[in-house]
Structures are given as structure tokens and as C-alpha cells.
Amino acid sequence: MQNASRRKFLGLCLGGLGMAGAVAGAYSVLSYLAPLSDEGTGGKISFSVTEIPPNGAKFFDFRGTTGVVIRKQSGELVALSAICTHLGCIVQWEQDKQDFLCPCHGGRYNSDGSVISGPPPRPLEKLAINITNGIVTVG
């Protein structure tokens, strides 16, 4: 009886150790495979205001997706997410029409990101923008 309980105790210890090792291994591997975060820059992106052409747009990687800053005819700068709210394609800036076109299914947005036509259910997400000393900071 004493032997049986000792064996059970040792078995439980060994099983516990094995389980702890498996959990530690699984945690390491899952952390290794998890997408990397942008903590280093606080998720913000900066560039010179001169990189945005008149009436044009600048696309950039933003928090793992794509953002865009456009310069409207009035000179105002607008920052938006470039992800179409329909099925997630990247919209394109049409300089001559001053609107966004999603080439996937023909969705159109105006320069403020509001839906003009097509299937998109929501406007483009607006991003915070700040211009200081000729440097544009988005996010």
C-alpha cells in the first residue's frame, strides 16, 4: 500500500513536471509564432510633408495595415485607412476625380472617406494626423 502510494506520488510529480514543461514549450512556441507588435514606435508613423504631392496621396504601412494621407485641392491633409470596408482590398487615389476607387468591386469614396457608390457598407476609417514643423505624424 505504501509502495503504491509512493509510486502514485512520484508518477504525479513526474506528470506535473512533464505538464509544466509542455506548457512552457507551448507558450514559447506560440509567442514565437504570434505576429510582432509595433510597440517600438508607439504605432505612429512620421514623414516629411513634402512627400505628399499636390492633389496626390502617400500610402504607407500603418500598424500592420495600410494608411493613406491625401492633399486635397484646398491644401488640407486628410489621413485615412486605405482598407476598403467591403472586403478589405486596398483603395486607390484617383487624382483627376479626387476620390478613392476600390478596384476589387468598384466601391467609391470621396476625399473624406465617405461612401459615394458601390458595395462598401461604411466610410473609410479616419486616422489621427498632426503636422508640426513640416513633419506629418499619423496615429
Binding positions for another protein, rule: CB under 8 A: 28-29, 31-34, 36
For residues 139 and 127, what is the distance between their CA atoms, to the nearest angstrom?
6
Q: Alpha helices of 34-96 — where are they, by DSSP H?
A: none
As measured in angstroms, the least distance from the Cβ of 32 to another protein is 5
As measured in angstroms, the least distance from the Cβ of 125 to another protein is 28
Q: How far is CA 128 from CA 16, 17, 60, 70, 77, in A?
A: 50, 50, 14, 13, 11
For residues 90 and 84, what is the distance between their CA atoms, to the nearest angstrom?
6
As measured in angstroms, the least distance from the Cβ of 19 to another protein is 15
As measured in angstroms, the least distance from the Cβ of 44 to another protein is 19
C-alpha cell at 85: 470596408
- C-beta of 17 vs 135, nearer to another protein: 17
- C-beta of 28 vs 46, nearer to another protein: 28
- C-beta of 8 vs 122, nearer to another protein: 8
Q: Give the rounded distance of the alpha carbon of 28 from its chain centre.
A: 24
- C-beta of 31 vs 74, nearer to another protein: 31
